[in-house]
Amino acid sequence: MNKKNLFLSIFAITVVLILIFIPMKIKNQEPNPSKLPIDVIKPIQALKDNIPDLKTYSNAGIEFKYPANWTLSENLVKLPTIAFPAGEIRISGDGYLFSIGPNSGFGEFPSDQYKTVQVKVENENIAGVEQLDNLNQRYALIFGLYRPGSNEFYFIRLSGSLSATRSLSEVKQRIMDFVDTIKIVN
């Protein structure tokens, strides 16, 4: 087996194990007030009403909207075994960093640093994790989306900086505004 196939095999096994483990862990947990899912924050107004001059990104089988004054960069690679590319799409601005990794790995999320949550994307509840990093004053929401009818997925990490003028609830609201614009497309 060459190195590329070995790497892809190890990567695929790791992703499958993580995706099996997270839902099992969520399902087997007893209710605990410190581990309850975050409230799905619904925007008071649609993102387009809150943020003027939105751009629409549509590539790699995913579509979303983001503020026109933010920076978007792509580092995508087409692999012969899957329909959509792997890599990373980064959007940053105003103290936020959103990273979408089509067909890219997850990582580890120690329970002492991350809390299990539910995120609503396109009317579907998705298991994820959230982190409040008090030392660096950042909030992060991390989850994965699967492309229906395939084994392709999107690893999504959304984070924002807290400050004297930006509260945790404001950061969560902006992140959920962004989540509300995400669509899986052909």
Answer whether residue 171 shows pLDDT above 90. yes
How many CB atoms are located within 10 Å of the residue 10 CB?
Answer: 10
Task: For residue range 91-145, list pLDDT tens digits in order.
Answer: 999 999 999 887 666 667 778 888 888 888 888 888 889 999 888 899 999 998 8
Instruction: Please tell me the predicted confidence (pLDDT) of residue 121.
Output: 85
Which residue type, as a one-letter code, is found at position 69?
N
Contact 103, 152 (CB under 8 A): yes
> What confidence tier does 32 reach under pLDDT thresholds 50, 70, 90?
very low
Residue 40 scores a pLDDT above 50: no
Q: Could you tell me the residue ranges of all domains in the chain?
A: 3-184
**Among 176, 184, 186, residue whose Cα is nearest residue 42:** 176
CA distance 100 to 43: 21
Contact partners, residue 35, CB within 8 Å, separation at least 6: 29, 115, 116
144, 154 in Cβ contact below 8 A? yes
Helix H or strand E segment including 5:
helix 3-28
Separation in Å, CA 65 to CA 44, 52, 79, 127, 165: 17, 11, 26, 22, 24
Q: Is the pLDDT of residue 41 over 50?
A: no
Specify the pLDDT at position 92. 94
- What integer pLDDT is reported at residue 127 of this predicted model? 86
pLDDT reading at 154 higher than 50: yes
- Average pLDDT of span 66-93: 86
Confidence of residue 44 (pLDDT cuts 50, 70, 90): very low
Distance CA(165)–CA(43), nearest Å, equals 19
CATH 1.10.1060 for the 3-184 domain, yes or no: no
pTM of the model: 0.68
Which segment of 7-11, 73-77, 122-126, 149-153 scores lowest on mean pLDDT? 7-11
Query: In whole angstroms, what is the distance from residue 118 CA to residue 125 CA?
Result: 6
